[in-house]
Structure 1
Amino acid sequence: MTRTAVIAGVGPGLGESLARTFAAEGCRVALFARTESVIEELAADLPEPGEGLAVPTDLSDVDEIRAGFATVREEFGPVDVLVNHASAASWQGLLDLDVEEFERAWAVGGRGAFVCSKEAVGDMVESGGGTVIFTGATSAVRSLGGTIGFAAAKFAARGMAMDIAQEYGPEGVHVAHVVIDGQIDGPGTREQHPDRSGDTFLDPDEMAETYWHLVEQDNIDTMPFEVHITNGPQNTEFL
């Protein structure tokens, strides 16, 4: 079965690993991100038998998201898989965070995921099923204090994932939420954290395999909702 997958929020690290893994499994992969050069290069370099499509999209802009999905349908057909992977960094506490930054975090991680899900699930219901995966974080289930914008957006996304799962699971739409409990290894990560050993970082390629395993479960009656990815008790810094 050839699936059409949208990865909403692609950059170096896990987003790139998701694209490569899904393509290697035969998916037509649409890459949504603001940085056009990054996704165009990645789309051209995806492994066979997959196919890539770069769709420059600001995931805080409702009209751009809708236009992006229209482009995907025109090129690849209806969407079978969506990964809501985008988030906006917002690392300040209540008294330091301004309204504009709070709203930006919510616009990307909350409203953006809502619009993407609405577009994709509409296709899935018509075609008889599909998979929606939300990339979460520790802050989606346990606030750390001092990151109110990020936590609010991640809590919102988890709540939406749960609600969509309950509403559309009976129609064959598998919705899952992945809690990333650790620091993802990627370009510059180790330089930014010189005090940490290499085995405390999460391998994005291995994480992408977990996401794909969720996609492969889209045709079973009993579906897992939440997966918690961590690298063990040695991990002391959480996102």
Structure 2
Amino acid sequence: MSRTAVVAGVGPNLGATLARKLADEGCAVGLFARSESHIEELESELRTGGADALAVPTDITDPEAVERGFERVREAFGPVDVLINHAGGGSWQGIRSISAKSFEDAWRIGALGGLLCSKEAIEDMLAADGGTIVFTGATSSIRGREGALGFSSAKFAVRGMAESMARELGPEGIHVAHVVIDGHVQRRSPPDAPDRGDVETLHPEAIADSYWHLVEQDRSAWTFELDLRPHTEEF
């Protein structure tokens, strides 16, 4: 079955890999990011491979920009069936050094951006036969981390929002899931990048496979929270 998907927060690593996975599975993909050049390159790559893709430069903290972005995707591909809320960020600072603006920026990107994108997507899903919304979390979604006050607070907020949405929207046929990425994600490093030593990393393609499993799950056995870590990590 052909689906229309939006990845909100397409970076050059995992975000791009998620978009490629969705395209490989036959989805038409809307690519949301502030960086226009990156998503345009990815759109070209996906289209060259035979997929339907659309780069949509979008500030997901701006309600009007989000509305316009979803309208462009609908005009190109039809109603949205899958939303990946992947955007996140925040200054890595503790309570004594973080500014009010840095704290608010982390919340706006993760929590507010996820809210605005979800509100747009669920209208399409409710009018159809349901859909899937997946939030990208992190170790900091479930454990506070020294020196990451803004990032951790925003990720905690996203997790709470996802759980609340899952309880509200599940009976309406919308699968809401939260993925805890508990570890370092392997990056496409330049040749002169420093060696990470013996740090075990999660492969982006393997993570993307798990996201797609959530999209394909039978309604009788939906997963809310999926945590992914390298086999060497302890719980």
> Please, what TM-score do these two structures have when normalized by structure 2?
0.94
Q: Distance in 2 between matches of 1:149 and 1:187?
A: 26
Match in the other structure for 1:21: 21
Give 1:220's aligned amino acid: R
Secondary structure of the 1:177 match is strand
Deviations 1:181-201 (A, max 9, x none): 111111338966524236x01
2:39 aligned residue:
39
Query: 1: distance between equivalents of 2:32 and 2:210?
Result: 21
Instruction: Look up the match of 2:222.
Output: 223
Structure 1 41/203 Cα, relative in aligned 2: closer, same or farther at 3 Å? same
Asked whether the 8 Å contact 1:24–1:49 carries over to 2, the reply is no
- Cα deviations across residues 120-148 of structure 1 (Å, max 9, x unaligned)? 11110111200000000010011112211
Which moved further from structure 2: 100-109 or 219-228? 219-228
Question: Quick check: 1:22–1:50 contact (8 Å CA) kept in 2?
Answer: no
1:152 aligns with 2:153: yes
Provide the residue aligned with 1:83 in structure 2.
84
Alignment CA distance shift 1:128-1:13 (3 Å): same
Distance 1:153 1:202 in 2: 22
What is residue 143 of structure 2 aligned with on the other side? 142
Q: CA deviation at 1:234?
A: 4.6
Q: 2: distance between equivalents of 1:191 and 1:183?
A: 19
Q: Which moved more, 1:103-112 or 1:143-152?
A: 143-152
Summarize the alignment of residues 186-197 of structure 1 with structure 2, pairs less than 5 Å apart: 186-188=187-189, 194-197=195-198
Q: d(CA) in 2 for partners of 1:190 and 1:70? A: 40
Unpaired segments of 5 or more residues in structure 2?
Answer: none
Q: Distance in 2 between matches of 1:28 and 1:34?
A: 20
Q: Structure 1 vs Structure 2: percent identity of aligned residues?
A: 50
Closer/same/farther in 2, CA of residues 207 and 71 from structure 1, 3 Å limit: same
Q: CA RMSD in A?
A: 1.9
Task: Output one character per residue of 1:37-79: Cα deviation in whole Å (capped at 9) or x when no partner.
Answer: 1101101111755311000011222221111111111111111
Size of the aligned set, in residue pairs, is: 234
Q: Which moved more, 1:48-57 or 1:72-81?
A: 48-57
- Structure 1 residue runs without a partner (length 5+): none
Measured at CA, do residues 179 and 27 of structure 1 come closer, stay the same or move farther in structure 2, by a change above 3 Å?
same
Moved more, 186-195 or 144-153: 186-195
Confirm or deny: 8 A CA contact 2:60 2:116 kept in the other structure: no
Measure the CA separation in 2 of the matches of 1:141 and 1:66. 31
The one-letter code of the counterpart of 2:223 is: P
| Mapped partners of 2:72, 2:65: distance in 1 | 10
**CA distance in 1: counterparts of 2:233 and 2:191, whole angstroms:** 16
- SS of the residue aligned with 2:215? helix
Counterpart for residue 65 of structure 1: 66
In the alignment, is the contact (CA less than 8 A) between 1:23 and 1:51 conserved in 2?
yes
Summarize deviations over 1:157-203 as a string: whole Å, max 9, x none: 111110111001011100110000111111338966524236x0111
Q: Distance in 1 between matches of 2:145 and 2:193?
A: 20
Letter in 2 for 1:82: L
Tell me the distance in 2 between the aligned counterparts of 1:103 and 1:109: 10
**Alignment-derived partner of residue 213 in structure 1:** 213
Instruction: Determine the C-alpha separation between the residues in 2 that align with 1:13 and 1:235.
Output: 25
Q: Which residue of 2 aligns with 1:175?
A: 176
Moved more, 56-65 or 44-53: 44-53
Letter of the structure 1 residue corresponding to residue 73 of structure 2: V
Query: In the TM superposition, what whole-angstrom CA distance separates every residue of 1:92-128 from its partner, at most 9, and x where no partner exists?
Result: 0111000111111011001000000111111101112
